[in-house]
A = this chain, B = another copy of it.
Amino acid sequence: MTTIQTGITVEACIQACLDCYRHCQHTALTHCLEQGGKHTEPAHFRLMLDCAEVCRSTAALLLNESAFATELCALCAEICERCAQSCERLGDMQDCQHHCEYCAETCRQMAKAPPSPHHARRTGAAHPHAG
Contact = CB atoms under 8 A, between A and B. Distances in A.
A112 interface: no
A26 B127 contact: yes
Nearest to A128: B95
Contact of A50 (B46, B66, B127, B128): B66
Given A75-B75, A79-B68, A56 B56 contact: yes
A18 interface: yes
A30 B95 contact: no
Main secondary structure of the interface of A (DSSP, over half): helix
Interface residues of A, number: 50
29 contacts: A19-B130, A19-B131, A22-B63, A25-B63, A25-B64, A26-B63, A26-B127, A26-B128, A27-B128, A29-B42, A29-B45, A31-B128, A33-B41, A34-B42, A36-B36, A46-B66, A49-B64, A50-B68, A53-B57, A53-B60, A53-B61, A54-B57, A54-B61, A54-B68, A56-B57, A71-B75, A71-B78, A75-B75, A95-B129
